[in-house]
Amino acid sequence: MAPHRSTKQNRHSRNAKARRRRVVGLSCTAGAFLAFGLIPLVTAPRAHADMEDVIVQPVIDAIAQAVNVMDPGLASSFDPGLDAGSLAAPALAAAAAANASIPLQMFNTTSPLVDLSVSGGPNIPVLVDTGSLGLVVPWYDLGLQGLENLGSPIGSNIGGYGGNIDFFYLEFPETVNFGGGIVTSPTTVDIPLFAWPASLSNGSLSGLFNLDNWSFQAYEAQNGADGVLGIGPNAAGPGDSSVITALPGDLNEGVLVNETGGYLEFGPNPLPALGSVGGAPITNLDVSVNGGGIVPVSATIDSGGLYGTIPSSILIGGPPVGQPEPSGTVITVYESNGQEIYSYTTNATDLQGPTITSDNQMNTGYIPFKAYPVYISYSPSGVGTTVFDY
């Protein structure tokens, strides 16, 4: 697993400009490629287009063809105009509790996973990722029921993770079911249709032979997941919103990620707070390495960031860029007011050191989530607050 860690250390460190979502128009020819899972040789122009005429019908036809291959009897009942809201009606009609929780499990120490279903499809494991925004689930994981209930796409874009993988996706207004009656109203779900190494988007051939970067499924399998539940309100994408904000009642106020307790809890913060910082996941922190001076850094508090990254600019005599901090390194992180949030000493097992980067951005990785329950508040809107609980 070491090579997978090294390829994903910086999965959310692309700057906002590089990760800005781009509208892409598809022709009917491109729709044919989607039906067979192939990548077109000619890149579609990155410009705004009339979605209904240019992309919607070809893609619906392509998905219907794919459904017909899996189950010929299903295609005849495929209804692109199905009202997805009807699926949520029973749950939304009930009075929403102030808080509700679902089980959370850890994969390979660093990856928090929960199960959910989209549009009445089967339960699938998704990575709980504070470092990104938007629920991303491949269409082939929706199941026959989920595909049958799929409505019409409302948009399309290109997204990516960490400079490793890019993917073309459609946006659908669907319900998301977390189990136990915890169901959203129709909300945007991003459904990738095909993927490619992110380096190709920049005209480079590096990573061309890494097969994990040619498939969204293979890329996320490294985390034990089929999709990504991006819940960071001020993350740079790839989506526009968190599906948690579409939960009823108080459940949409925020979410507690309790990795040590083994659960994800929706609603107001249920625990006393040790401290908090403005922004989730992007914020400002102070860092000290091996008892040295405290240095302010721009940081991403990232449950999906594995072991994280740390800027070379705050290290003295440290390892070269691209290498992890060695075992025995003491890293202490503070709020900007001087309150210590967490401190740890790296080792060669569950507290592997963060990777050294040449930029000025820090990624916490999973470490603070190992230390405390972390609550992600959706207030203020579009920015959020990260709260470290007892």
Active site residues: 129
Nearest by Cα to 131 from 245, 273, 299? 299
The residue type found at 356 is I
Nearest by Cα to 133 from 388, 390, 384? 384
Is the CA virtual torsion 313, 316, 322, 327 positive or negative? negative
Helix (H, G, I), strand (E, B) or coil at 133: strand
Separation between Cα atoms, residue 114 and residue 102, nearest integer Å: 8
End-to-end CA distance of the chain: 32
The b/e string for 153-185 (b: 16+ C-beta within 10 A; e otherwise) is bebbbbbbbbbbbbbbbbbbbbbbbbeeebbbb
The b/e string for 46-60 (b: 16+ C-beta within 10 A; e otherwise) is eeebebeebbbebbb
Residue partners of 218: CB distance under 8 A and separation at least 6: 211, 212
Residue partners of 161: CB distance under 8 A and separation at least 6: 11, 12, 132, 219, 228, 238
Helix (H, G, I), strand (E, B) or coil at 157: strand
Separation between Cα atoms, residue 194 and residue 34, nearest integer Å: 7
Look up tokens 């990795």; give the residue: 259
Phi (first) and psi of residue 341, to 5 degrees: -95, -55
Is the CA virtual torsion 66, 67, 73, 79 positive or negative? negative
Structure-derived torsion over alpha carbons of residues 112, 165, 15, 340, reported in degrees to the nearest 10: 20
The answer to whether residues 351 and 230 touch, using CB atoms and an 8 Å cutoff, is: no
The answer to whether residues 379 and 267 touch, using CB atoms and an 8 Å cutoff, is: no
The answer to whether residues 171 and 190 touch, using CB atoms and an 8 Å cutoff, is: yes
